Every structure is written in structure tokens, then in C-alpha cells.
Amino acid sequence: MNYRKAKKEDMSAVHHLVQVLADYEKEGDAVNVDPKYYERCFEEKVFQVIVAEDQERIVGMVLYYMNFSTWKGKMMYLEDFVVLPEYRNQGVGSKLWEMWLKDSKAQGAKMVKWQVLDWNAEAIKFYERQGATIEKQWWNGKIIF
């Protein structure tokens, strides 16, 4: 397994993994941007990606970006974290997680954050094994344009 920072050429595979995750989260129709849009945003440095690659096939990834907490300072936000089902429970997710934390620290983040669906027990257990606190008191707000 090869782990590396993504390149523009990887955005189609990244988009595919995002769709896999959306389908798993029962939100398959919610993805309304295409791989070309990902390429543009990636080139503009809107987000970063670390991929797991098995014989040149991207099988997992973490997609993240820098944010800011007025209480803690620079904060890395994990937008998507997905490993193809046939590669789960083989350490791929743990390695991607480790690399994301290392990169976040290297970029000066004081904290990392993400969301997890309340029904995703496997993911919650993974995060708790990593020493994470799963907050339940904050509600999410959003406006879609």
C-alpha cells in the first residue's frame, strides 16, 4: 500500500470515493459537483487530500482543509474520510488518520475537527480508539446556495 499527497490527476478517484461515502451515508443524490470542479478547487488549494493507493488504484483518502477557531487558533477540518469496503479493517484507515494528524500538526493546527453521523457506530468506535472526544451538544447549521 502506498500513501501519499494527492495530485490533480487523482481528483476523479477522489470524487468517486466521495460518492461511495455519500451512498453509504444514504445521501447519494447530494453530491452535485463533478471531478472537474474538484480539480479546480484542488488547484486553488481549497482543500488537501492524502490517498491510499494499492497498485495505482486509489482505495482510500482523507480530504481536509485549514479552518480557524477563535478559541483555539488554526484548526484542520476533516471533510471526508473513506476507505473502500474491501480495504477496511486492514490498517488503511489508521494509516490515513495518522498521516492526516501528522500533516495537520506540521501545518500548525492546534486542533482537528470532523463530523460523524450518530448511527455510524463503526466510525464512532474508530474515533474513540484514536482518543477523540465525540461532542453531542453542538447542533449543525447550514445554508445551501
Catalytic residue numbers, as ranges: 127
Residue recorded with cell 453542538: 138
Residues 6+ apart with CB under 8 A from 12: 35, 38
Q: Is the dihedral of CA 87, 31, 25, 141 positive or negative?
A: positive
**CB neighbours of residue 110 within 10 Å:** 14
Nearest one of 88, 78, 142, 83 to 116, comparing CA atoms: 78
